A and B are shown apart, each in its own frame.
Chain A
């Protein structure tokens, strides 16, 4: 006698509103530049950006690489740094939340490093790694690991103490409570960390590329500035925005799937 499933329809207005908002935004933008309200030397119109985009797909001039090459550099850097921060940050945070030894060992160092903005590491990383891939990955790793550790730690700490007592009365060992109770109940927080860390990684990637790079989306933006080409600047910005949104959307979908049982 399971419940019957029905399809709930969304009102039409709520379905079209997001699209209408986007169309209105780009329409206004186009008009503002087209009619000279903002001079073209300060801002490029969406149609100009689109033309530049199509051109840049195959043309490496004037900044030294095609669109695809820039995007590939950025994605590589972001993905590696992001992955490293998850792989190290989440287990570290989870362990700090449950094992007093891990907390005592890592918390002081973590609290010391945490307030330093990742960008402050750039000069040192240029010394250590030059302006290639490794340096940027390091910056992004520093940026992403902070929310991973904090959220995982808090997630474990927020496990209901009565639930822990209950598990103990069923004879669960400390390790069993950690793996079977604390980690699942920390998962919503951990997924929050995935989103947060991504935002941190992505913004710091662009910042790192602005200062020290020879390719990548952030570098494209810098070059647009140096060459006095607003269309290239805006193209770089939009690409950063869209790629970030796509990755965020994918994580959101994965989260919804995995946490089906917890969400109400």
Chain B
């Protein structure tokens, strides 16, 4: 990976939350990782492994207690439009149409209306929502809402995309379909992506590289897998299943 351009660097990051006023809960400890340009990095871990907190720190929504985050060589100090977030809950403006939701970031930056519309249309088409520009979120299915979320993040042309279990609320079939769509969208327009999930199949289907988190708090990196599986991938391919078994065997279930 040394020949690739470094995008995001996370160095010795730790975070402890204070719960109920006085209880210290160490959430992540001493995380160091690098993300390279146009790479699809998956952070895989069960619930309560600190992976979402790590992503929030990348987004600037949480401050690390120790350690530093640098994006494109500059330290991350707060939230900003250079990072595009897609949340598990769809987080659309209920009173805005699909188009207006996708235009959000552009509008906040003061992009002129005509250019805004053109950009928004491009990404609405890219995520497959052509014809739904004037619909309101409540008229859309869960999968479609998350497409709007992805289009909104893409349209803002962030330096890096951060996706936090984006398909966690979808049913199994829609989820698999959205994985295929995500792979298609990403191959059509390459971006640097950090994708957080608790789903091994999802990780294997999408990732160039998987960072596996330890299954308990405080979250630490257990190991890393580099996937050189050809795309488009199949959920039932031989290499896919071999790796799936390897990762499953390496993950202990915490109940």
In the bound complex, residues from chain B placing their C-beta under 8 Å from that of A168 are 61, 79
A41 to B84 Cα, complex, angstroms: 76
The reply to whether B131 and A169 contact each other, CB–CB distance below 8 Å, is no
Asked if B36 CB lies within 8 Å of chain A CBs, one says no
**Cross-chain pairs A/B with CB under 8 angstroms, 19 sampled:** A2-B132, A2-B135, A160-B91, A162-B87, A162-B89, A162-B91, A165-B79, A168-B79, A169-B80, A169-B81, A169-B84, A170-B156, A171-B79, A171-B80, A172-B108, A185-B94, A187-B95, A261-B95, A261-B136
Contacting residue for B85 out of A169, A176, A185, A187, CB 8 A: A169
Least CB distance from B50 to A in Å reads 18
Residue B231 is within 8 A (CB to CB) of chain A in the complex: no
Interface residues of A in 222-264 (CB under 8 A from B): 259, 261-262, 264
- Point out residues on B near A: beta carbons under 8 Å: 59-61, 79-81, 83-85, 87, 89, 91, 93-97, 104-105, 108-109, 131-132, 134-136, 138-139, 156
Q: How far apart are A17's CB and chain B's nearest CB, in angstroms?
A: 30
Residues of B within 8 A of A171 (CB): 79-81, 105, 108-109
How far is the CB of A63 from the nearest CB of chain B, in Å? 49
Question: Contacts A2-B135, A165-B79 given; 16 further ones with Cβ under 8 A?
Answer: A1-B131, A2-B131, A160-B91, A165-B61, A166-B91, A167-B104, A168-B61, A169-B59, A169-B61, A169-B83, A169-B84, A170-B104, A176-B108, A184-B95, A185-B95, A261-B97
What is the CB-to-nearest-CB distance from A152 to chain B, in angstroms, rounded to a whole number? Answer: 16
Residues of B within 8 A of A184 (CB): 93, 95
**B61:A264 contact, CB within 8 angstroms:** no
Contact status B138-A264, CB under 8 Å: yes
Within the complex, the shortest CB–CB distance from A71 to chain B, in Å, comes to 37
In the bound complex, CA of A172 to CA of B78 (Å): 12
A97 to B84: give the CA distance in the assembly, Å.
28
Shortest Cβ distance from B137 into A: residue: A261
Residues of A that sit less than 8 Å from B by CB: 1-3, 160, 162-163, 165-172, 176, 181, 184-185, 187, 259, 261-262, 264
A128 to chain B, nearest CB (A): 42
Bound: A187/B95 CA distance, A: 10
Residue contact A170 to B105, C-beta cutoff 8 Å: yes
In chain A, what residue has the closest Cβ to B152?
A170
Q: A3 — which chain B residues lie within 8 A by C-beta?
A: 139
Which 8 pairs of residues, A with B, have the shortest CB-CB distance?
Answer: A171-B81, A170-B105, A169-B79, A261-B95, A168-B79, A1-B131, A261-B136, A166-B91
The answer for the CA separation of A3 and B132 in the assembled complex, in Å, is 10
**How far, in angstroms, from A1 to B131 measured CA to CA in the complex?**
6
Chain B residues with CB below 8 A from A176, complex form: 108
Task: State in angstroms the CA–CA spacing of A1 and B60 once bound together.
Answer: 39
Q: How long is the Cα–Cα vector from A3 to B36 in the complex, in angstroms?
A: 43
**CB distance B91 to A163 under 8 Å?**
yes
Docked complex Cα distance between A123 and B94 (Å):
47
**Which chain B residue lies CB-closest to A172?**
B108
A2 — which chain B residues lie within 8 A by C-beta? 131-132, 134-135
Q: Which residue of A lies closest to B109 (CB)?
A: A171
The minimal Cβ–Cβ distance linking A173 to chain B, given in whole angstroms, is 8
Which residues of A sit under 8 angstroms from B59, Cβ to Cβ?
A: 169
Residues in B neighbouring A261, C-beta threshold 8 A: 94-97, 136
Query: CB distance B105 to A262 under 8 Å?
Result: no
In the bound complex, residues from chain A placing their C-beta under 8 Å from that of B97 are 261
Q: Which residue, of B84, B97, B105, B134, has the highest number of chain A Cβ atoms within 10 A?
A: B105
B139: which A residues are within 8 A, CB to CB? Answer: 3
Residues on A with beta carbons closer than 8 Å to the beta carbon of B91: 160, 162-163, 166
Residue of B nearest to A3 (CB): B139
Query: Whose C-beta in chain B lies nearest to the C-beta of A264?
Result: B138
Q: How far is the CB of B149 from chain A (nearest CB, A)?
A: 9
